[in-house]
Structure 1
Amino acid sequence: MRDFTRWIELEGAVNVRDLGGLATVDGGTTRFGRIYRSDNLQGLTERDVRVLVGDRALRNVVDLRSGPEVRLEGPGPLTAVPQVSIHHLTLFAEGGRYTDVEADTADTADTADTADGETIEGDKVLPWAVREENEERMAELRVTGYYYGYIRDRPDSVLAALRAMARDDGAAIVHCAAGKDRTGVLSALALEVAGATREAIIDDYVATGDRLEDILARLRASETYRVDLDTRPADDHRPRAEYMQQFLRVLDERFGGPLAWLASQGWTESDSRLLRARLRD
């Protein structure tokens, strides 16, 4: 059963929760008040900023959105707070004019155009279920493929994000657009390093479904995301346990687990100690 005390109620974001209070393999729990996860933060109100920066000592923001998303949606009010450091670390291989190298030649049916002509590739930004009728297994493999693409294409961003989350100068928050896919992958990796159980990691991932209607309403209010969302039934966007299970299974089978994959990319035991110290007593 999920611990609903982990939710943080804000006026300008709807999918904000603490990575504390989750079960660990040694019988403990992760620590509250150190690392948070969220959807878009550019709509935060003055009250929200006071809550995060003042009450919760937020000092590091890990923004996983692509460059075009930040330009189209805005960087958010936290960028104007002197004591907060913004770490913009996209998980896409941004070599083209738009979201990533493939977006230059993407079919227009898969892209969202805005008033100024800039484009994001919706299937990569919001990698949910297939549009056409298909078996659930195909949707699972498709979403997992995008998740694997994050670590394949931008291991540098993954490691830098985890290191920013491990900084001990205050609390950190990691976010993307919905706070589900890119944020879900980084949260899962951080929790794995901290020694959370797989059950707890997956439970945290699917918890986004509790706020799904509010998340979709926020995204549909934006020209950046509306086109992609309006072509799919709402339930297609629900996070499913099997998506995260499959992603972690891929890391287990190909690399010997998330920690082994991180080590293969230059993550050190010192890095692990720092991140564990953030999330463990």
Structure 2
Amino acid sequence: MEATHDGPGGGAARWVELAEVDNIRDLGGLPVLGGGRTRHGVVFRASTLQDATAGDVELLLGRYRLRTVVDLRGPDEAAREGHGLLADTAVRRVSLPVRRVQALVTDAVPAVRGEGGEAGEAGDAGEAADDTAGFYEGLLDGSGASLVDAARIVADTEQHAVVFHCAVGKDRTGVLAALLLDAVGVPADAIAADYALTAQRVVRIRERLARLPSYRDLPAVEHHYMASKPQVMHHFLDTLRTRHGGAGRWLRERGLTGAELGRLKDVLVAGPES
């Protein structure tokens, strides 16, 4: 595999190497403010799982003890693309679509703005970051119930290990990952570094998705919607904190109880000695 930097969101051990799933990694091993790190083997973020081979499925169920898949795709998208071999297992599949208030097809494949421009012509880097972060804010605003339910699943040890995924494993998946990690005290630099790791796999992710009906209009790799630059996640987290007081408060205001938030922290955070 590609070398993974050992920054705050890095660590080669976090990648799960599967034959036909391109972007899956453990959210364990990230630093937590006040000490400790996130636990390994509890929750994983991923790109679409529908191409997983029999060997991939065996590895997920065996070594990684997968019990629950949280599908962040839209219902129509999931119906078209399916669940592959995982549909024939005892793994629990939960549909929790992450989309904007007025859901659009482009919530699965973000639209390329402008007319007649080549992919990548999206203004300066600051504008691109603002545009993508704004898209994420729209997903946050339209998906309160789904995101709270996903946090409840992660907080429930009976459902571990949990994998949540969308298509690329960057946007809808990135919003949920950011919420979970911010809620338990992972610093912004580490969340942004984790988000940025998708860039290591983006070429092969796009090559795979472009063969599937739902993603034929996926932007070129060079376009900013296919990038996973850390400043985009920093912008999103800044907005989450200034508008909502952070992920913990956002989740509480949408129905997660204090006890559930406490369990989420207990489940995801290991002490310094662990």
Contact persistence 1:18–1:35 (CA under 8 A): yes
Counterpart CA distance in 1 for 2:34 and 2:110 is 34
1:276 aligns with 2:265: yes
Tell me the CA shift for residue 185 of structure 1: 0.8
Correspondent of 1:139 among 124, 128, 134: 128
Q: Which residue of 2 aligns with 1:234?
A: 222
Contact persistence 2:47–2:170 (CA under 8 A): yes
Contact persistence 1:6–1:21 (CA under 8 A): yes
Choose 139-148 or 85-94, whichever is displaced more. 85-94
When residues 128 and 198 of structure 1 are mapped into structure 2, their CA distance, relative to the original with a 3 A threshold, is farther
Tell me the CA shift for residue 196 of structure 1: 1.2
Counterpart CA distance in 2 for 1:241 and 1:129 is 20
Spell out, residue by residue over 1:84-114, the C-alpha distance to the aligned partner (whole angstroms, 9 max, x if none): 111100012587xxxx3xx4xxxxxxxxxxx
Counterpart CA distance in 2 for 1:45 and 1:247 is 35
Correspondent of 1:16 among 14, 17, 24: 24
Q: Which residue of 2 aligns with 1:161?
A: 150
1:90 aligns with 2:80: no
Counterpart CA distance in 1 for 2:156 and 2:208 is 30
Counterpart CA distance in 2 for 1:151 and 1:61 is 20
Counterpart CA distance in 2 for 1:128 and 1:161 is 26
Counterpart CA distance in 2 for 1:275 and 1:127 is 31
Count of matched residue positions in the alignment of Structure 1 and Structure 2: 254
Counterpart CA distance in 1 for 2:33 and 2:112 is 32
Counterpart CA distance in 1 for 2:204 and 2:218 is 17
Contact persistence 2:65–2:161 (CA under 8 A): yes
Q: Which residue of 2 aligns with 1:210?
A: 200
1:70 aligns with 2:78: yes
Tell me the CA shift for residue 129 of structure 1: 6.4
3-state SS, counterpart of residue 227 of structure 1: coil
Aligned amino acid, residue 254 of structure 1: R
1:79 aligns with 2:87: yes
Q: How does 1:1-281 map to 2 (within 5 A)?
A: 1=7, 2-82=10-90, 84-92=91-99, 100=103, 103=104, 121-122=105-106, 124-127=107-110, 130=113, 132=117, 133=121, 134-169=123-158, 170-229=160-219, 232-236=220-224, 237-281=226-270
Tell me the CA shift for residue 166 of structure 1: 1.9
Counterpart CA distance in 2 for 1:273 and 1:238 is 34
Counterpart CA distance in 2 for 1:127 and 1:45 is 28
Counterpart CA distance in 1 for 2:268 and 2:202 is 26
Tell me the CA shift for residue 37 of structure 1: 0.6
Counterpart CA distance in 1 for 2:36 and 2:176 is 21
Aligned amino acid, residue 253 of structure 2: S
Contact persistence 1:129–1:139 (CA under 8 A): no
TM-score by length of 2: 0.87
Cα RMSD of the aligned pairs, angstroms, is 1.8
Choose 266-275 or 244-253, whichever is displaced more. 266-275
More helix by share: 1
Choose 170-179 or 268-277, whichever is displaced more. 268-277
3-state SS, counterpart of residue 55 of structure 1: coil
Contact persistence 1:29–1:280 (CA under 8 A): yes
Choose 137-146 or 151-160, whichever is displaced more. 137-146
Tell me the CA shift for residue 71 of structure 1: 1.5
Contact persistence 1:64–1:90 (CA under 8 A): yes
Counterpart CA distance in 1 for 2:112 and 2:231 is 13
